[in-house]
Amino acid sequence: MAAATGAQSKGLIHTAACLIIGDEVLGGKTVDTNSAYLAKFCFSAGINLKRIEVIADDESEIVEAVRRMSNNYDFVVTSGGIGPTHDDITYQSIAKAFDLPLKQHDAAFERMKRLSKPHPSQPNFDWNTPSAALTAKKRMIILPYNDSIPDEEQVIFTDDQLWVPVACVNGNVHILPGVPRLFERMLDGLKPRLLPRLTDPEGKGVLRILISTPLPESAVAEYLTQLAARAEPKGVKVGSYPRWGKENNTVTLVGRDVEFMESIVPEVEKAVQGHRVAVEGEDDPAQADPKKTEVA
Ligand SMILES: *[C@@H]1O[C@H](CO)[C@@H](O)[C@H](O)[C@H]1NC(C)=O
Ligand SMILES: *[C@@H]1O[C@H](CO)[C@@H](O)[C@H](O)[C@H]1NC(C)=O
């Protein structure tokens, strides 16, 4: 497989992909929320998120997925597998995927020593004497590293209070932790670096119009099919979302051609006997929905 060109690191970001790495998600122990956070992040930044995959903590799976995503998309984010234990293999697997060595990153280690809060069971942790715990901690600052690339482009500190870096490999693969609060904070911290590479930095051009309809999906399907065909050449996507247990469903128009989209709203409202809403559910009756309380 062709290795890194690094060319991905400078151009405009049109597309993104997300790789969730975690046995705990596949095993039903943990619910992944990071991909949903990334999806919102991308939408608001005008980036087309094209793919979300969940895979096991398995080297060959990580190698295959990360190479393919790095090749196919402009901005790739991985989540998970960078902790101190034996099953945290993301760094080593991604290093292998791009034929890079793993290197202890001294600045990251200094930050770890300075900023990590002592665990209650290790109040006076000894950073200077070799120990199993120290070796385990160091796993987290031994990163895939390319000596030909400036350090600040491949080890990114997003926040003065966090020691965990975002390792950026092959120019576009960003390795983030799976812990949601860290993932979210570090992704937000990347935004200023991404801004100059966005085609539509505030996502201003991306408009999502919601139309609430009392008709069942089957009754609007034929109309929506022909509407979608007409809207497609304008880059506008037509969606239909049933809302379980609610009276009304939602039809959406998503795109950048604001003029075209606004021009068809009255027609869509009429065809689906609905009306435009600002937020999904704003026209729901106020009292608790009986079907929902039954299954709660
Ligand atoms: C390291 O970076 C250089 C410069 O971008 C690139 O040409 C080379 O292919 C990279 N090496 C690997 C193994 O990715
Ligand atoms: C459903 O849509 C109809 C038509 O737009 C609207 O009059 C009604 O308020 C909506 N909400 C409910 C709960 O029916």
User: What pLDDT was estimated at residue 203?
Assistant: 66
Ligand 2 proximity of 275 Cβ (cutoff 6 Å): yes
| The pLDDT value given to residue 292 | 45
Count of beta carbons in the 10 Å neighbourhood of residue 253: 25
pLDDT at 118: 82
Ligand 2 site-directed mutation target among 210, 211, 212, most atoms within 8 Å of CB: 212
pLDDT of residue 37: 98
Whether the pTM exceeds 0.85: the reply is: no
**Are 184 and 20 contacting, i.e. CB atoms less than 8 angstroms apart?**
no
Determine the 3-state secondary structure of 273 from DSSP: coil
Check if 172 has its Cβ closer than 6 Å to any atom of ligand 1. no
User: Residue type at 289?
Assistant: D
3-state helix, strand, coil in the chain (%, to 5): 40, 20, 40
- CA 262 to centroid of ligand 2, rounded, Å: 21
List, in order of start, the domains of the chain with CATH numbers: 7-197 (3.40.980.10), 207-277 (3.30.70.2860)
pLDDT by residue for the chain (296 residues), tens only, comes to 334 444 456 789 999 999 999 999 999 999 999 999 999 999 988 899 999 999 999 999 999 999 999 999 999 999 999 999 988 999 999 999 999 999 999 999 999 999 988 888 888 889 999 999 999 999 999 999 999 999 999 999 999 999 999 999 999 999 999 999 999 999 999 999 999 898 877 667 688 999 999 999 999 999 999 999 999 999 999 999 998 888 999 999 999 899 999 999 999 999 999 999 998 888 888 755 544 443 33
User: Residue 214 C-alpha to ligand 2 middle, in angstroms?
Assistant: 6
Q: Which of 38, 34, 14 is nearest to 25 (CA)?
A: 34
Cα separation, 16 vs 51, in Å, equals 7
What pLDDT score does 2 carry?
Answer: 39
pLDDT score for 137: 93
Buried/exposed 214-227: b ≥16 CB within 10 Å, e otherwise: ebeeeebeebbeeb
